[in-house]
Amino acid sequence: MSSVVPLRRRLLRGIVGSLIVGIAVCSSLAAWRVLAPVPLETAHAASLADVPALVPPVVPASGVPHPAWPVVATASVGSCAACHDQGVSVAGKRPGETAEEWRRTPAAAAGRVCTSCHQAPLVQADWAAAFRAGVKVSISPSGWAVAQVKVTATDEVGHRLPTSPGVELRVSLAQVDRQGLVIEGTTVEGVVGRRLADAGEQFDTRLLPGEVYKLRYEKRVDDECVSMIARVLVVPRRGGDPFMVWEERVVLLPG
């Protein structure tokens, strides 16, 4: 009789142990479902014709040239449209249509005009602020480096981002070694912008407020990799120096 009691205790401990293991496995699977990124496609800029205008048409008016900052303070968007809404239409869009883009943004509906943002102290700060809050990174805890970067144009933007051909946002993901160096052959890069050529438009991934650009990354983890780095870099036109608006490093979880 005395040998039966320990046997029952051992059986009970075995059952409880099995339940604990089962709960742990289920919890791990649940965590994987949450952490594993959903496959995404790159979102291209919507046609302006498909976006309802929030304010009446802009009437171009004589503006004051501004070859350098600061922009002359004026409440007239029309003075900006005189120069920035022009050019031969390519793929249904003119090279310059910033005021037309502005008509279709919450900024226009709220009464914000060009010089609400375009003043000298705000030039770079606006770029960084608009993107820092809208870029997210997620990393899958597996033997593969699986990630996505989402760049969202916020409602603070008053036109497509970036509006001008030649200005681009370079979005990149790469694997990094223990010395903090990007491992050759592991970088994936996407471009938010518009490229025009003699033959026509190459691509247009510019964003109206609320639109999202998504860069997906999926590669085998290099043996030297200890982390991944995501960056958003602004490349000005006419050979200006690029500048960083966002950077984040994420340590890969073990598979």
Distance of CA 80 to the CA centre of its chain: 27
pLDDT at 100: 92
Q: What distance in Å separates the CA atoms of residue 159 and residue 66, rounded to the nearest whole number?
A: 19
212-220 and 200-204: which strand pairing?
Answer: unpaired
Domain ranges of the chain: 48-251
pLDDT at 109: 92
pLDDT at 47: 81
Q: For residue 156, which phi and psi values (nearest 5 degrees)?
A: -75, -15
Q: What distance in Å separates the CA atoms of residue 121 and residue 113, rounded to the nearest whole number?
A: 16
pLDDT at 102: 94
Whose structure tokens read 């997620």? 138
User: Which parts of 97-161 fold into alpha helices (H)?
Assistant: 98-102, 106-109, 123-132
pLDDT digits (tens, 9 = 90+) for 76-116: 788 888 888 888 877 777 888 999 999 999 989 999 888 88
Peptide linkage before 70 cis (omega within 30 of 0): yes
pLDDT at 28: 30
Q: For residue 130, which phi and psi values (nearest 5 degrees)?
A: -65, -35
pLDDT digit of tens for each residue in the chain (255 aa)?
444 445 445 444 453 344 333 433 333 322 222 333 333 455 677 788 888 999 999 988 876 666 655 566 666 788 888 888 888 877 777 888 999 999 999 989 999 888 887 765 555 555 666 566 566 666 665 667 778 888 888 887 889 988 887 888 899 999 999 999 999 999 999 999 988 877 778 888 998 888 888 888 888 889 899 889 989 888 887 777 888 888 888 887 655
pLDDT at 40: 44
Q: What distance in Å separates the CA atoms of residue 122 and residue 127, rounded to the nearest whole number?
A: 8
pLDDT at 197: 77
Could you tell me the CA-to-CA distances from 28 to 19, 21, 25, 32, 97 in Å, in that order?
A: 14, 11, 5, 6, 51
Q: What distance in Å separates the CA atoms of residue 229 and residue 249, rounded to the nearest whole number?
A: 4
Pick from 44, 93, 81, 45: nearest CA to 196: 93
pLDDT at 43: 64
